[in-house]
Amino acid sequence: MKPRIFGIESEYGLVFSPTVLLSLPIEKVIGYIFEGLIPKNWPSSTFLQNGARLYQDTGCHPEYATPECSTIVDLIVHDKAGERLLEACLPAAEKRLREEGLSGDISVFKNNTDFLGNTYGCHENFLMNRHVNFWNVTEQLIPFFVTRQIFAGAGKVMKVNGHPHFFISQRAQHIHEKTSSSTTSSRSIINTRDEPHADAEKYRRLHIIVGDSNMSEFTTYLKIGTAAVVLSMIEDGFQVRELQLDDPVRAIREISRDPTLKQRVKLENGQELSAIEIQRTYLECAQNYIDAGREDEVSKDVLWNWARVLDRLDADPMSLTRELDWVSKRHLMCSYVDGKRCGWDDPRIAMIDLQYHNIRHSKGVYYLLERNNRMDRMVDDQAIRDAMSIPPQSTRAKVRGDFIRFAQAKNRPYTVDWTYLKLNGYWEETILCMDPFEATNMRVSELLEQLPAST
């Protein structure tokens, strides 16, 4: 697998449940949550000491963008650190509300839809070579991303003609185009906005907005790992032929609607294939690519797990309850419907659907499964705790995190973006950081020498 920078942006659903009847602007709740992460008088959209960015996105959603990561394991750790950072702020935010006479519970959900039909995203970012033909890459990738939901979906019960139906993916029904520069008005499989956050002559950012937010660490590993291998393969000229879909938007919705995975979709050449068959074609090409001298331990492990999961999805999807979010959730719901002899439109099913994504360990259904050793782990809790304050050590996120630590310790006002660091006011200074692989900066190192050893 080629050296690459990865990132995930997660928009979180937010609910305040008051103990008395009242109306409270959700912006006020977000403000109290942010107080636990962002020092007073600093911007509400800001970067943290771990190199990540936290801000309020369109629709009053807290959004957490991981720092730049150079390994998939680092990405999983920092994605989970975002959950823990938000969770850690909730008790203080609820206390602040109580002080104003607004007693209640704040719930934060790492999902992609609410029960009013609104959607919010999980965006994946892959740094790629600027000199590779971007449009050729997107055409090669679209069938992959359309069908990847069979192992990357988060699952959702939605109504069809007034009747509840289980869908594999939460985002699939909200996708309208193959490609688009917009992330809201015309949601697409691949976003074409050219915003590399790096040296634009060398790099481009592949921005994927079609995926679901995942609670399962294994699902995130497979989702990102397979995409990275396929992207590297296409960048190196290994073409995936004869898989272009006749109607990708229709196909992604049809696949999502069939948890049996038997649905076949039409290709431009008139052939009809299932999502599993399309994924196996990509897997075969990826195996040939790896066998041609590009083998490494991470790629080998990704391909082994990819093949194993596709085989089990083909034989019995419900055998993957420990690994895949949509399978785990559907198994819980089926067991509940059978045990309680209720219908799929029972409000308790809707509650399972929502609470699976609650990031509070004490309330989230996913974390209940994890505590009972019913979900496979990829990282340990200590690594996640460390990532709440420590950036990845192999990317420019380390430079950013070190700079923020210095500025806050010295009480210096600052401005930070992905590509620059700026000390404001007296002796104003701007430090450019255009290379996301560069984990050191001489000027930032000089600044850190001014801090006491214990800082």
pLDDT at 182: 64
pLDDT at 403: 95
Task: Based on the fold, state whether residues 340 and 422 are members of the same structural domain.
Answer: no
Task: Based on the fold, state whether residues 311 and 437 are members of the same structural domain.
Answer: no
Task: Based on the fold, state whether residues 315 and 441 are members of the same structural domain.
Answer: no
pLDDT at 304: 98
pLDDT at 260: 97
CA dihedral 320, 325, 331, 337 (to 10 degrees): -170
**Residue 50 within any structural domain of the chain:** no
**Residue 81 within any structural domain of the chain:** no
Rounded to two decimals, the pTM is 0.95
Provide the residue range defining the domain that includes 440: 396-448
pLDDT at 440: 97
Task: Based on the fold, state whether residues 401 and 335 are members of the same structural domain.
Answer: no
Task: Based on the fold, state whether residues 294 and 229 are members of the same structural domain.
Answer: yes
Q: H/E/C letters for each residue in 196-243?
A: CCCCCCCEEEEEECCCCCCCCHHHHHHHHHHHHHHHHHHHCCCCCCCC
- 378 CB burial (10 A radius; 0-12, 13-18, 19+): middle
Task: Based on the fold, state whether residues 335 and 424 are members of the same structural domain.
Answer: no
pLDDT at 427: 75
CA distances from 266 to 179, 189, 255, 272, 283 (A): 19, 17, 11, 4, 20
Q: Are 325 and 212 in contact (CB under 8 A)?
A: yes
pLDDT at 28: 82
Q: Are 274 and 264 in contact (CB under 8 A)?
A: yes
pLDDT at 180: 79
Task: Based on the fold, state whether residues 188 and 269 are members of the same structural domain.
Answer: yes
Compute the distance between CA of residue 357 and CA of residue 131 in angstroms, rounded to an integer.
39
pLDDT at 442: 95
Low-confidence ranges of the chain (pLDDT < 50): 44
Task: Based on the fold, state whether residues 319 and 407 are members of the same structural domain.
Answer: no
Q: Are 102 and 93 in contact (CB under 8 A)?
A: no
pLDDT at 41: 58
Task: Based on the fold, state whether residues 435 and 342 are members of the same structural domain.
Answer: no
Task: Based on the fold, state whether residues 183 and 260 are members of the same structural domain.
Answer: yes
Tens of pLDDT, residues 73-110: 999 999 999 999 999 999 999 998 888 888 889 999 99
DSSP 276: H
**Residue 387 within any structural domain of the chain:** no
Task: Based on the fold, state whether residues 400 and 352 are members of the same structural domain.
Answer: no
Structure tokens at 419: 């590509």
Domain count, the chain: 2
Catalytic residue set: 57
Task: Based on the fold, state whether residues 153 and 238 are members of the same structural domain.
Answer: yes
- 193 CB burial (10 A radius; 0-12, 13-18, 19+): exposed
Compute the distance between CA of residue 256 and CA of residue 242 in angstroms, rounded to an integer.
22
CA distances from 245 to 98, 144, 248 (A): 54, 10, 5
pLDDT at 39: 61
Show which of 326, 356, 386 is a domain's final residue.
356
Show which of 356, 387, 404 is a domain's final residue.
356
Query: Within a 13 Å sphere around the CA of 323, how many CA atoms are in the beta-carbon half?
Result: 18
Residue 99's SS3 state is helix
**Residue 264 within any structural domain of the chain:** yes
User: Cα–Cα–Cα angle for 9, 14, 18, nearest 5°?
Assistant: 165
